[in-house]
Amino acid sequence: MCIIVHTCIELQQIQVISNMEGLTRSLIPISDEEVENVAEVTARAFFNTKSYNEIFRGTPETRVPQLAQLFSRNIGMIRQKEPGAIHCYYSDSSKSEVACSFVLIKSTVTFTLWEKVWAGLLTLVVLFGFQTFGRMMQASDWFDERIRLISEGREYFELQRMIVNPAYQGKGIGTRLLGEALKEADDAK
């Protein structure tokens, strides 16, 4: 089973540690409040990337809420269909601060147009405007085509939006998260 990652990374030897010491994993499925928390932290992590700068033109102050809205809808949609795909870790058991998260979804989990509309796809046109929505759909089509070419019809896992809250960076958490994702994909063989 392979993993397709949206961002090109160089994989070095990674020690797989399934126990995220000092962090608390959210229950499955994550709650509505957790969806919003993860969406907000993810938006802050991605607001200044090249692709999202191109899609959501404007200032960082306008991009962060737009991305949070987009990620909230997307994570909510995934939660409905494949709740175990969302991995969310907190700094403590009170779940006051998202330390890190990622989505690992199997290629066999797909979403119909109706499911996307139900999750709020059309409201994004109203929120962001036709041009931004069009750029977002173009980027989505581009990624889907690349994934189709890379996967060559094989089943795969797609690693989406792996983030580590800046307060927890530099502690090896991202490496452990990637190790966990690789182990989960490997165990699914």
Q: Identify the pLDDT of residue 180.
A: 83
Residues 142-151 have a mean pLDDT of 87
- Average pLDDT score over the chain: 81
Provide the pLDDT confidence category of residue 68 given band limits of 50, 70 and 90: very high
Cβ atoms of 105 and 78 within 8 Å: the answer is: yes
Residues 147-161 have a mean pLDDT of 86
Residues 87-111 have a mean pLDDT of 83
Residues 138-164 have a mean pLDDT of 87
- The answer, yes or no, to whether residue 5 has pLDDT greater than 70, is no
Residues 121-150 have a mean pLDDT of 87
Give the list of residues 6+ apart from residue 181 with CB closer than 8 angstroms, or none. 3, 87, 102, 104, 157, 159, 162
Q: Identify the pLDDT of residue 10.
A: 32
Q: 119 — alpha (psi -120 to 50), left (phi > 0) or beta?
A: alpha
